[in-house]
């Protein structure tokens, strides 16, 4: 029933590539990945160097503007984004409309979508001032929205941002602080979260970023495009994996199962079980971010007294996988999400916030990619074709 004649007539050639395994949809100067070698660079800088020496704000600037900022540029950037952290008061009303037990990811994507209604002076994708304005607004307001979504999910009062604090500090206070009471920040948690956000900041044409570009290619504004990206990130095969990893570890623990027995189930593909936090479309080697996350987990869990038993199960699963033919042949290694959940849990975040933390990190990448797409004169509206496999022409027979 496959009929490719019309496509061939139009284009002379047809490429069938489900999942875009080998189709490039963009030329990009932002992020370089060599999946076979396990290399990741932002604008040419190795992720290991950025994670060790820079800050999330600096990396945000780098991704969006292409160069590392000078001290003065960074300070200006910091001031501009800090000034915009407050949400329109009526936007706050949205949070009251969601059910008490709503997952914070759809709350986040809905509120980001609603920014198009509150900030109508920054919607034109081809006006550079407006694009700058929506960039600052997103960078400043998404952490506030994310903290509100957290408070909403906990049934606790929301805190107005404190602009004496930087982005990461403000977000932590927004989640764990109590109105009118001082909040004491733990510098080790601030630093670890900052590093985790750097590690998530961009990853070329992953599912959510490709979504941001596809939506944006119709000239939809940045808020609308990024709201779509947040929804793409929600799925367990993408950003939702960090939440799914912890769920998997807890189930193994609760059932008193040996990691080896769980691995057997995975290998038999029982009920489609996968080892969550393992495997990657691009990395066929150790994900370089996972290596850094593992180091952070070692340090932070020892310091904060994380869940040793779950960490132990995770390490045993990893060890088993690295020795097992099933995983070796398929080149399945831990990805960035295998250990992040354990760190977030030790920091005090509930599981449903894990993917929100991923979204916070990925935000600069989405913005940088959306801007690159809009500025590229060769951008065309994203419009895949299909191979039609339905019925051939037939006559309507009447009821």
- Give the residue numbers marked as catalytic: 280, 337
Nearer to ligand ACO among residue 169 and residue 287 (C-beta):
287
Nearer to ligand ACO among residue 241 and residue 297 (C-beta):
241
Residue 323: how many other CB atoms lie within 10 Å: 9
Contact pattern from residue 12 through residue 51 relative to ligand ACO, giving x for each residue in contact according to CB under 6 A and a dash for the rest:
-------x--------------------------------
Nearer to ligand ACO among residue 281 and residue 294 (C-beta):
281
Nearer to ligand ACO among residue 115 and residue 343 (C-beta):
343
CB-based contact 30:204 (threshold 8 Å) = yes
Select from 22-30, 89-97, 238-246, 385-393 the region that touches ligand ACO (CB under 6 A): 238-246
For the segment 334-393, give every residue that binds ligand ACO (CB under 6 A): 335-337
Smallest gap from residue 67 Cβ to ligand ACO (A): 26
The string of DSSP codes covering 223-289 is: HHHHHHHHHHHTSTTTTTHHHHHHHHHHHHHHTT--HHHHHHHHHTTGGG---TTB--SS-SS--HH
Residue 191: how many other CB atoms lie within 10 Å: 14
Strands (E), the chain: 31-34, 39-42, 45-46
CB-based contact 138:367 (threshold 8 Å) = yes
Return the residue nearest ligand ACO (CB atom). 279
Q: Give the span between the Cα atoms of 117 and 123, in whole angstroms.
A: 10
The β-bridge relationship of strands 31-34 and 45-46 is unpaired
Burial degree of 99 (CB within 10 A; 0-12, 13-18, 19+): exposed
Which position among 41, 238, 247, 284 is part of the footprint of ligand ACO (CB under 6 A)?
A: 238
Select from 114-122, 191-199, 219-227, 236-244 the region that touches ligand ACO (CB under 6 A): 236-244
Binding residue count for ligand ACO, defined by CB under 6 A: 19
| Region of 163 on the Ramachandran plot (φ > 0 left; ψ -120 to 50 alpha; else beta) | alpha
Smallest gap from residue 176 Cβ to ligand ACO (A): 25
Contact pattern from residue 276 through residue 295 relative to ligand ACO, giving x for each residue in contact according to CB under 6 A and a dash for the rest:
xxxxxx--------------
Nearer to ligand ACO among residue 216 and residue 239 (C-beta):
239
For the segment 315-344, give every residue that binds ligand ACO (CB under 6 A): 330, 332, 335-337
Smallest gap from residue 266 Cβ to ligand ACO (A): 5
Residue 308: how many other CB atoms lie within 10 Å: 11
Smallest gap from residue 268 Cβ to ligand ACO (A): 10
Select from 71-79, 136-144, 269-277, 344-352 the region that touches ligand ACO (CB under 6 A): 269-277
CB-based contact 334:249 (threshold 8 Å) = no
Q: Cα 57 to the chain's mean position, in Å?
A: 16
Smallest gap from residue 321 Cβ to ligand ACO (A): 8
Which position among 237, 302, 322, 387 is part of the footprint of ligand ACO (CB under 6 A)?
A: 237
Q: Give the span between the Cα atoms of 351 and 260, in whole angstroms.
A: 25
Residues lying near ligand ACO in the complex (CB under 6 A) are found at 19, 237-239, 241, 266, 274-281, 330, 332, 335-337
């Amino acid at each position: 029933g496959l009929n490719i004649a019309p496509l061939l007539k139009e284009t002379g050639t047809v490429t069938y590539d489900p999942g875009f395994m080998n189709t490039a949809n963009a030329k990009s100067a932002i992020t370089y990945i060599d999946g076979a070698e396990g290399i990741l660079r932002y604008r040419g800088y190795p992720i290991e160097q950025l994670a060790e020496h820079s800050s999330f704000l600096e990396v945000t600037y780098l991704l969006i503007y292409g160069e590392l900022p000078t001290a003065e540029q960074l300070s200006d950037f910091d001031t501009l984004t800090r000034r915009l952290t407050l949400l329109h008061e009526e936007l706050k009303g949205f949070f009251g409309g969601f059910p008490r037990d709503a997952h914070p990811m759809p709350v986040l994507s809905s509120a980001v979508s609603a920014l198009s209604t509150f900030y109508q002076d920054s919607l034109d994708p081809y006006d550079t001032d407006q694009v700058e304005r929506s960039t600052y607004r997103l960078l400043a307001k998404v952490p506030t929205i994310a903290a509100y979504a957290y408070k909403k999910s906990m049934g606790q009062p929301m805190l107005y941002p404190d602009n004496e604090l930087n982005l990461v500090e403000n977000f932590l206070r927004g989640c764990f602080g109590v109105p009118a009471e001082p909040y004491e920040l733990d510098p080790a948690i601030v630093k670890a979260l900052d590093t985790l956000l750097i590690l998530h900041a961009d990853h070329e044409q992953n599912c959510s970023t490709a979504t941001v570009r596809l939506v944006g290619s119709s000239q939809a504004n940045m808020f609308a495009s990024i709201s779509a990206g947040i929804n793409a990130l929600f799925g367990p095969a993408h950003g939702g994996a960090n939440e799914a990893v912890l769920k998997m570890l807890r189930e193994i623990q609760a059932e008193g199962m040996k990691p080896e027995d769980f691995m057997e189930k995975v290998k038999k593909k029982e009920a489609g079980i996968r080892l969550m936090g393992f495997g990657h479309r691009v990395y066929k080697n150790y994900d370089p971010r996972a290596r850094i996350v593992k180091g952070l987990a070692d340090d932070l869990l020892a310091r904060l007294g994380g869940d040793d038993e779950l960490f132990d199960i995770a390490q045993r699963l990893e060890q088993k996988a690295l020795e097992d033919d099933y995983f070796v042949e398929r080149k399945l290694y831990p990805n960035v999400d295998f250990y992040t959940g354990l760190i977030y849990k030790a920091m005090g975040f509930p599981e449903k916030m894990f993917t929100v933390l991923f979204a916070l990190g990925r935000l600069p990448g989405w913005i940088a990619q959306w801007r690159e797409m809009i500025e590229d004169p060769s951008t065309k509206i994203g419009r895949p074709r299909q191979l039609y496999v339905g019925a051939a022409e037939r006559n309507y027979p009447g009821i």
